[in-house]
Amino acid sequence: MTALAHVGQAGGGGPTPPADDQERPGRRWVPYLLLLPGGLWLLVFFVVPLVQLFTVSLQSQFPGYPGYYYRDVNAGNYLRALTDFAPQFGRSLLFAALATFFAFVLAYPLAYAMAFKVGRWRNVMLIAVIAPFFTSFILRTVAWRQILADEGPVASTLNALHLLPGGHITETWAAVVAGLTYNFLPFMVLPIYASLERADHRVIEAGGDLYANGFTTFRTVTLPMSAPGVLAGTLLTFIPAAGDYVNADLLGADDTKMVGNVIESQFFKVLGGFPVAAALSFTLMALILAMVFVYVRRFGTEELL
């Protein structure tokens, strides 16, 4: 009785949200309706393929019919993915980590300069960072093959100086890491730039006012302020780099293949490789998810970007 009276009172009383709901019940559905297109998109193009891929990863092969499978719960595919292809997993994570490190080393000074030092050149530099996106990254990687070719300027100079142990740059792991670093650099630059650019200059000035020298100010004030950008940048570089196979395929050798190459070859080159390829994809996904989880837990901040 009292509860009902209370509700009635509130309803008649004023423009509180529940009252609004009662007057126009359609309102409650608005957020769901807004979520619907994105949700459907995710369902059809992410959840369904993912579930489909998962069922494939558990299939077994018809005995005597290579290339044909039946529904099964065959965990052996995962075992094979982990044992047979451990070197490629290791390489993927190592190359991605190296590329992330080098991208960070290159990107931070660049983003810092763009945010604080270059003044009116800022837009030009931003365009320079983004411009490579106007060409396909496969084309750009093929172009690197040309630049680094044995008869090309880089390799012949290094060879003349006897600085190239193997005699060539392409088909080495260094070329793969360099390619990854190059291809994902903008993903590191832009988030760091965004967080530095937003930083409050007065806080940095305060560092100087408190008699900190330039380095201490940078270490205790600027760097922590850019942490969200660094976190986002490292994630945006590491995750796609670990799954990349184009750089290893175009710039690497047969003994520098990454997991992406194995997945490609199991899907497209090996008769009956579908289940193992699917298992490899899931294992890679799980590995990256776990690493990212630990990383974000350890270094994460509330606000990404």
Binding positions for other proteins, rule: CB under 8 A: 40, 43-44, 47-48, 51-52, 55-56, 59, 62, 64-71, 88, 145-146, 149-151, 166-168, 170-171, 253-257, 261-262, 264-273
- Is the Cβ of residue 148 or residue 232 nearer to other proteins in the bound state? 148
| Euclidean distance between CA atoms 88 and 261, whole angstroms | 9
Q: How far is the CB of 171 from other proteins (least distance, A)?
A: 5
Q: How far is the CB of 287 from other proteins (least distance, A)?
A: 19
| Euclidean distance between CA atoms 181 and 197, whole angstroms | 23
DSSP 3-state of 77? helix
Q: How far is the CB of 142 from other proteins (least distance, A)?
A: 9
- Is the Cβ of residue 70 or residue 299 nearer to other proteins in the bound state? 70
- Is the Cβ of residue 19 or residue 270 nearer to other proteins in the bound state? 270
Can you give the length of the chain in residues? Answer: 305
Q: How far is the CB of 304 from other proteins (least distance, A)?
A: 30
| Euclidean distance between CA atoms 258 and 18, whole angstroms | 56
Q: Identify which of 53, 111, 104 has the alpha carbon closest to the alpha carbon of residue 241.
A: 104
Q: How far is the CB of 158 from other proteins (least distance, A)?
A: 14
Q: Quick one: CA dihedral 52, 55, 56, 57, positive or negative?
A: positive
DSSP, residue by residue, 131-186: GGGGS-HHHHHHHHHHHTSTTSHHHHHHHHTT--TTS-SSSSHHHHHHHHHHHHHH
- Is the Cβ of residue 66 or residue 109 nearer to other proteins in the bound state? 66
